[in-house]
C-alpha cells in the first residue's frame, strides 16, 4: 500500500466482513477508484475487475447515467417512509421489474440486500401457507454448498459449514450438492450427470412429511461455492416434485439475476419458473444497496386477506423501496436495456468458455466449469492447507492487475457484462501467468 496512505489511515476500527482481518491489516489490499472494466489502486495501478465487484457491477463501473439519477433523486426526494406511505418511483420500479420477471412473478417486495431478500422470501413462504390454513408447513429445504446470505434464515438453508456452525438455526434440511467432478469434470454449461439428485426431495418428504415443508430454496447456478451450473434436467425435476408435494420453490437469483446467465433471470434461461425469486446486487449495478423479492401473484393474493385495514404481512425495512435506490435501479435498467446487457452473456458465453477451458493444462488445475459469464477453476489444495493456494493466487493476481474471487481452493470469475473479447483474453492470459507463478 502507498506510503502516504499507510501513514494516515488507521485500519483498526473497521471490523471487515468475511475477511481475515489481522492478515489483511498486516498487508492491506486497497482499491481507490473505478471506471468501466477497471479499478485503480491508491498507487494508480489498473486492476481489471474479473468478478464485477462481488458479482454485482454488471454494467461496469462509474456509469454516469446511474450517478446522475442518484444525484438528482437525492435533491428531489431523499427519503420517504414506505410504511403506510408510498412514492411514485417505488411503484414505477416494481412495475418495470414485474415486466422483466419470469411469467407470473409480478409482485415485488423491496429489501436492501440479498440476505434480506432471502429472509423475506422464507417469511413469505410461511405467510402463504398460514394464510391457506397450512401453518404446519414451516421447515425449509436448502442444498449443500448453497449460499443464501447471512441472516438466520439464510444460514439455516445455506450449505456452507463455516457460515452455519456457530449459530442456532431454523428447522431445515438439505439436498446434496451437485458438484460431481468425477463424472462431470471440465463440463461446459450444464453438466450431463446429476439430475437424479433432485429426487432426494422425495426422500426428505418421506422423512419430514410434505405437510411440514414450506419451501425448497436453491441458487439456479450455485455461485459462492464455486459456480455449479445445474445438471441437465435437475431444475425441471425439482420443480415437478415441489409442485407434486405442495412445497414452494424459491430460486435465489441474487447472483444469477440481471443478465449473468444470458437471460434477465436464470429462471428464463433454464425455462423453469419458481414461485418466489430473490434478487439484489445487479439490480442497482452495485451502486446502492437494494434487493427485490419477486412473488407469484397467486401467492401474494392468498396473503391479501382479512379486513382491508389489516396489515397483511408484518414485515418490511426502513429502507424498503428507498427512493434513491429506486432511482439507481431505474437508471441501471435503462443502461441494461439500451446496451442489451441482460442477454449479452449468451452471446459471449462460448468465447468465455473457450478462454476459460484453455487453462485446463495450467498448473494445479483440477476442474473448470462455466455458464453465461460465470466461471470457476478448481485448484489442487496444498497438503494440510486448504485454501492457501487460491489465496496466493488472489494476491498474485492483484499484483498482476486482475481481481479474482476465491472460495476454498476455487477461483471464480464473473466479469462485468460489458467485457470485450480482447479483455476476456487479457483476463485469462493474466490468470495463466498467475497460476504459473504459484507453488
Q: Residues 278-297 vs ligand PLP: string with x where CB under 6 A?
A: --x-----------------
Q: By Cβ distance, which residue is nearest to ligand PLP?
A: 114
Cβ proximity of 184 and 194 under 8 Å: yes
**Local structure of residue 229 (DSSP, 8 states):** P
Burial of 85 (0-12, 13-18, 19+ CB in 10 A): exposed
Ranges of beta strands (E only) in 75-157 are 107-111, 139-143
**Dist CA 333 CA 260 (whole Å):** 14
Q: How far is the CB of 108 from ligand PLP (least distance, A)?
A: 17
Q: How far is the CB of 283 from ligand PLP (least distance, A)?
A: 10
- Contact between 327 and ligand PLP by CB under 6 A: the answer reads no
- Contact between 255 and ligand PLP by CB under 6 A: the answer reads yes
Q: Residues 189-228 vs ligand PLP: string with x where CB under 6 A?
A: ------------------------------x---xx----
Please enumerate in sequence order all residues whose Cβ is within 8 A of that of 248, keeping only pairs 6 or more positions apart, or say none.
125, 128, 214, 215, 216, 242, 274, 275, 276, 299
Size of the site for ligand PLP (CB under 6 A): 14
Quote the distance between the C-alpha of residue 189 and its chain's center. Answer: 18
The residue range among 18-26, 107-115, 181-189, 257-265 that interacts with ligand PLP, by the rule CB under 6 A, is: 107-115
β-pairing verdict for 402-403 and 46-49: parallel
Between 118 and 424, whose beta carbon lies closer to ligand PLP?
118
- Contact between 376 and ligand PLP by CB under 6 A: the answer reads no
- Contact between 118 and ligand PLP by CB under 6 A: the answer reads yes
Interface residue with ligand PLP among 41, 52, 58, 113 (CB under 6 A) is 113
Q: How far is the CB of 113 from ligand PLP (least distance, A)?
A: 4
Buried b (16+ CB within 10 A) or exposed e, 401-421: bbbbbbbbbbbbbbbbbbbee
- Contact between 115 and ligand PLP by CB under 6 A: the answer reads yes
Binding site for ligand PLP (CB under 6 A): 113-115, 118, 147-149, 219, 223-224, 252, 254-255, 280
Amino acid at each position: 500500500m502507498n506510503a502516504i496512505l499507510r501513514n494516515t489511515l488507521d485500519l483498526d476500527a473497521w471490523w471487515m466482513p468475511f475477511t481475515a482481518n489481522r492478515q489483511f491489516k498486516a498487508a492491506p489490499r486497497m482499491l481507490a477508484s473505478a471506471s468501466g472494466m477497471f479499478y485503480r489502486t491508491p498507487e494508480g495501478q489498473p486492476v481489471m475487475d474479473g468478478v464485477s465487484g462481488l458479482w454485482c457491477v454488471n454494467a461496469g463501473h462509474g456509469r454516469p447515467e446511474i450517478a446522475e439519477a442518484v444525484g438528482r433523486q437525492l435533491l428531489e426526494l431523499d427519503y420517504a417512509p414506505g410504511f403506510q406511505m408510498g412514492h411514485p418511483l417505488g411503484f414505477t420500479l416494481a412495475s418495470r421489474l414485474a415486466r422483466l420477471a419470469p411469467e407470473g412473478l409480478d409482485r415485488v417486495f423491496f429489501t436492501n440486500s440479498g440476505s434480506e431478500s432471502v429472509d423475506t422470501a422464507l417469511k413469505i413462504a410461511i405467510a402463504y401457507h398460514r394464510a391457506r390454513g397450512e401453518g404446519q408447513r414451516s421447515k425449509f429445504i436448502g442444498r449443500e454448498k448453497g449460499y443464501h446470505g447471512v441472516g438466520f434464515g439464510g444460514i439455516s438453508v445455506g450449505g456452507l459449514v463455516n457460515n452455519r456452525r456457530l449459530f442456532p438455526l431454523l428447522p431445515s434440511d438439505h439436498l446434496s450438492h451437485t458438484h460431481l467432478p468425477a463424472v462431470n469434470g471440465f463440463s461446459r454449461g450444464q453438466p450431463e450427470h446429476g439430475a437424479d439428485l433432485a429426487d432426494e426431495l422425495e426422500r426428505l418428504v418421506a422423512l419430514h412429511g410434505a405437510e411440514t415443508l414450506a419451501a425448497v430454496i436453491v441458487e439456479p447456478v450455485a455461485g459462492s461455492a464455486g459456480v455449479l451450473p445445474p445438471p441437465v434436467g435437475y431444475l425441471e425435476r425439482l420443480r415437478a416434485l415441489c409442485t407434486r408435494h405442495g412445497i414452494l420453490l424459491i430460486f435465489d437469483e441474487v447472483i444469477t439475476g440481471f443478465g449473468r446467465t444470458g437471460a434477465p433471470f436464470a429462471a428464463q434461461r433454464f425455462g423453469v419458473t419458481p414461485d418466489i425469486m430473490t434478487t439484489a446486487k445487479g439490480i442497482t449495478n452495485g451502486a446502492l444497496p437494494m434487493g427485490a423479492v419477486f412473488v407469484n401473484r397467486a401467492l401474494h393474493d392468498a396473503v391479501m386477506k382479512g379486513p382491508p385495514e389489516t396489515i397483511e404481512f408484518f414485515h418490511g425495512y426502513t429502507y424498503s423501496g428507498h427512493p434513491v435506490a429506486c432511482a439507481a435501479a431505474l437508471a441501471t435498467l435503462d443502461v441494461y436495456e439500451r446496451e442489451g446487457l441482460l442477454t449479452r452473456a449468451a452471446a459471449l458465453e462460448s468465447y468465455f468458455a473457450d478462454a476459460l477451458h484453455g487453462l485446463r493444462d495450467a498448473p494445479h488445475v483440477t476442474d473448470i466449469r462455466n455458464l453465461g459469464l460465470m466461471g470457476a477453476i478448481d485448484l489442487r489444495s496444498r497438503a494440510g492447507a486448504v485454501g492457501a493456494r487460491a489465496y496466493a493466487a488472489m494476491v498474485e493476481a492483484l499484483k498482476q492487475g486482475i481481481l479474482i474471487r476465491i472460495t476454498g481452493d476455487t477461483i471464480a470469475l464473473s466479469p462485468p457484462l460489458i467485457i470485450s473479447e480482447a479483455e476476456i483474453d487479457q483476463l485469462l492470459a493474466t490468470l495463466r501467468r498467475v497460476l504459473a507463478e504459484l507453488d
